[in-house]
Amino acid sequence: MTEITDTTEVPEPGGSSEGKKPRKGGKRAKKGPLARLGLFYRQIVAELRKVVWPTRQQLSTYTSVVIVFVVIIIALVFVIDYGLTEVMKHVFG
């Protein structure tokens, strides 16, 4: 049988890992603001190229579903509001 102990080692905050030097700014500190801005936009373009864009048919289907859902919710809120208005007219006269 193994014995369960209640001790865990947690590294101290601010302490460095064994054999690693703390970073001082990394690569960003060596570049100017325009170079960092250019890098930022290049990364945006790279991420947008990874996006799987919907086809025209998928887009029209998704749009139709959203419009139908919104119309249903509007009708539901209207019916509840109208019903409560009629109840208040009946109660308060």
**82 lies in some domain:** yes
Domain containing residue 48 = 34-92
Q: pLDDT over 90 for what percent of the chain?
A: 63
Q: Which long-range contacts (CB under 8 A, 24 or more apart) does 26-34 make?
A: none
Q: Which residue has 């887009």 as its token pair? A: 59
Q: What is the pTM of this model?
A: 0.50
Query: Do residues 34 and 41 lie in contact, with contact meaning Cβ atoms separated by under 8 Å?
Result: no
Residue 14 lies inside a defined structural domain of this protein: no
CA angle 27, 28, 31 (to 5 degrees): 100
Is residue 76 assigned to a domain? yes
In a domain, 21, yes or no: no
Distance in angstroms between the alpha carbons of the first and the last residue of the chain: 79
- Give pLDDT tens digits for 61-75: 999 999 999 999 999
pLDDT tens column, 5-30? 666 665 666 655 556 666 665 555 57
In a domain, 12, yes or no: no
Query: Does 25 reside within a domain?
Result: no
Is residue 2 assigned to a domain? no
Contact of 37 with 43, CB cutoff 8 Å:
no
Q: Hey, how many other C-beta atoms are within 10 angstroms of the C-beta on 39?
A: 13
Based on the structure, what is the number of domains in the chain? 1
Cα gap 89→83, rounded to integer Å: 10
